[in-house]
Structure 1
């Protein structure tokens, strides 16, 4: 497997994990109407901090991806995060997923396959 493929997969995995962490963190925050508790919690909530750390890793991975591939190819391939986040939110967070969402994810994935075929 080429370095580019490994890095793109790692980028998508980081994005999915980061979004799941942000969602868990957001769900644990006090109400935004209570600014005295809400604002400090933004900087101390463990899930939010984990999401930021994962995005730090993703930033480094993404810069390497951009060193290896044109942005017009790399960015569409990174859009696999749409499918990954939808599936992960359904399986891990138990969020509902409709047929329309799955159909949209299939269309996005088909578009990504077209872009990938130009590599």
Structure 2
């Protein structure tokens, strides 16, 4: 990948990971409501809107990235977000990383490295 494509790829990782974490933060806020009341409560939170904004920005960055790389390579390299979101969940939400998840993450990283290496 060119330096420009690599930069765009990193930006998609940042915006996608932030979007996922922001939506998670909105979804786990304290509240005894459910149904429509829960949705209304979430809609008032900054995290849900920051998450949506991150996805909008990521959409355009992703389009620019895909214009520079073959689709098969772009989609597979883009799957690295599985790793960054999982790590973010561990750091910010204290989510459990089991040995199976760590092994699966290593397999994803290895597969992405092979795709990138294959050109």
TM-score (normalizing by structure 2): 0.90
Contact 1:11 1:61 in 2 (8 A): yes
Distance in 2, matches of 1:31 and 1:57, equals: 32
Contact 1:29 1:42 in 2 (8 A): no
The residue number in structure 1 matching 2:40 is 40
Tell me the secondary structure at the aligned position of residue 60 of structure 1. helix
Distance in 1, matches of 2:68 and 2:32, equals: 43
Distance in 2, matches of 1:92 and 1:108, equals: 22
Aligned residue-pair number: 118
Contact 1:29 1:38 in 2 (8 A): no
Describe how 1:1-119 pairs up with structure 2 within 5 A.
2-28=3-29, 30=31, 33-35=34-36, 37-119=37-119
- Unpaired stretches in structure 1, ≥5 consecutive residues: none
Cα pair distance change 1:63/1:33, threshold 3 Å: same
Deviation at 1:32, TM superposition (A): 6.1
Distance in 2, matches of 1:90 and 1:39, equals: 25
Deviation at 1:52, TM superposition (A): 0.3
The CA RMSD over aligned residues, in Å, is 1.6
Deviation at 1:118, TM superposition (A): 2.1
Kindly provide the CA deviation profile for residues 86-118 of structure 1, in whole angstroms up to 9, marking residues without a partner as x: 111111221111111000000000000011012
Deviation at 1:44, TM superposition (A): 2.2
- Unpaired stretches in structure 2, ≥5 consecutive residues: none
